[in-house]
Amino acid sequence: MGSQFLQVKEAPPVEVFLLSEECKADFDEHKVNLTVGAYRTNEGMPWVLPCVRSVELSMAADEKLNKEYLPITGMDSLVLSGIKLLLGVDNPLISSKKADGCQALGGTGALYLALQFLVRVMKCTVVYVSDPTWPNHRGISSLVGLEVRSYKYWDTEARGLCFTGMVKDLKEAPEGAVVILHACAHNPTGMDLDKSQWTEIAAVIKERKLFTLFDIAYQGFASGDLDRDAWAVRLFASQEMELLIAQSFSKNFGLYNERVGNLIFITKDPEITAHVKSQVKCLVRQTWSNPPQHGGRVVATILNCPALYQEWKSDVNIMAQRVLQMRQLLYEKLRELGTPGTWDHIIKQIGMFSFTGLTKAQAEFMRSAHHIYLMNDGRINMCGLTTHNIDYVAHGIDDTLRKI
Ligand code: PLP
């Protein structure tokens, strides 16, 4: 008998991992990896935050810690401290128990749970994602059976936000549609809404009776200020809007491979919130049964210890400031070189990424001629830039734009 899997076609690779592999296999001494969304130091190295290391050391020495299963919804101390970080410690939604959550496998796991909940329990059928967006928004949405539509977000010509297009598309969305919003540091464009624009979007969502699903994967990374980056979520929450929020700790704790996240839900009534939690619990039981402990305990320990929390806050700020410094430097170098085009968007954008405006052909040329790896849509990870390689990258961009 031949293979029963003969009809299985090879799936397309995930671009960001493929390009990273290609970069690893490139032996050119000048190569630069600007693809994958992870922090790098100015020496181009991954950074395990010192507060994370010290908690891990004490966990390893703690004989009271065992390997028993966690509850299905995870560690309450993590869930609650994550909610406080997002909404602010004194937010009445916490004391009234209108807000609660469930530990998840990273931001991705939280998004998956949220979208499953919206399909299975809320019977939603349509989701709106920004155009462009982080590819997994589309991927997970279609996996769970939602029809994926997009709302305009980026104006290619102006290299900036297309707010009127966004409002128009959301105003035309059918009642009950889900809208995924990047709470801060929009991936891939790095362009966020300002306060008055967020206020307008909140009004449209209320008027059109849409479901809001916030994705917050970069709290602290955007501005260096944890409260400032949570502003949009807090605004919606203060207007008594019911929300689902997928919170990731991968970037702001540098815990990429530990898979720590939190699905937060806010409703108008503590009893309804408890019902939501019970349904999410069923979904978890049938998906990963219960979450892993290690990374979640690291995050919970840091968030619940005032001294460690202060240390972590300053580490987040170090990461954010390094990114801001790289933005400024790249902008200045391109201006100095007189590189064709305008480059103000580099310093207007915030967060880990910059949407450079380079085309697919230009990105390919950057790789083949200069060994500089960026995404085909022109997105670069600002953390891949260092004071050692920034000249080389700026010259690479300059050369590419003059030739392609
Ligand atoms: N949401 C956005 C916008 C992201 O960029 C990412 C990671 O790149 C995530 C969610 C998921 O993060 P995690 O690694 O915690 O699953």
Strands (E), 156-253: 160-161, 178-182, 211-216, 243-248
This prediction has a pTM of: 0.96
Q: Tell me, using a 6 A CB cutoff, whether residue 254 lines ligand 1.
A: no
Phi, psi of 146 (to 5 degrees): -85, 150
Cα(70) to centroid(ligand 1), Å: 23
Q: Which atom of ligand 1 is nearest to the CA of 250?
A: 15
Torsion of CA 140, 142, 148, 151, to 10 degrees: 20
ipTM (interface predicted TM): 0.99
Q: Tell me, using a 6 A CB cutoff, whether residue 190 lines ligand 1.
A: no
Q: Tell me, using a 6 A CB cutoff, whether residue 37 lines ligand 1.
A: yes
Q: Are 363 and 351 in contact (CB under 8 A)?
A: no
The mean per-residue pLDDT over the stretch 75-79 comes to 98
Q: Give tens-digit pLDDT for 17-63.
A: 999 999 999 999 999 999 988 999 999 999 999 999 999 999 999 99
Q: Are 106 and 264 in contact (CB under 8 A)?
A: no
Largest Cα–Cα separation, the chain = 67
Q: Are 103 and 75 in contact (CB under 8 A)?
A: yes
The mean per-residue pLDDT over the stretch 86-93 comes to 97
Q: Which of 100, 169, 215, 315 is catalytic?
A: 215
Cα(108) to centroid(ligand 1), Å: 6
User: Does residue 132 have a cis peptide bond before it, meaning omega lies within 30 degrees of 0?
Assistant: yes
Q: pLDDT-derived band of residue 1, with 50, 70 and 90 as boundaries?
A: confident
Cα(216) to centroid(ligand 1), Å: 8
Residue 304 and residue 313: Cα distance in Å, rounded? 13
Cα(111) to centroid(ligand 1), Å: 9
Q: Which atom of ligand 1 is nearest to the CA of 248?
A: 15
Phi, psi of 253 (to 5 degrees): -110, 0
Q: Give tens-digit pLDDT for 112-147.
A: 999 999 999 999 999 999 999 999 999 999 999 999
> Which amino acid, residue 320?
A
Is 209 annotated in the active site?
no
Q: Which token pair is 218?
A: 């970069």
Q: Tell me, using a 6 A CB cutoff, whether residue 134 lines ligand 1.
A: yes
Q: Which of 98, 154, 229, 251 is catalytic?
A: 251
Q: Are 137 and 113 in contact (CB under 8 A)?
A: no
Of 115, 134, 258, the one to substitute when testing ligand 1's pocket (max ligand atoms within 8 A of C-beta) is: 134
Q: Which pLDDT does position 36 carry in this prediction?
A: 81
Q: Are 100 and 277 in contact (CB under 8 A)?
A: yes
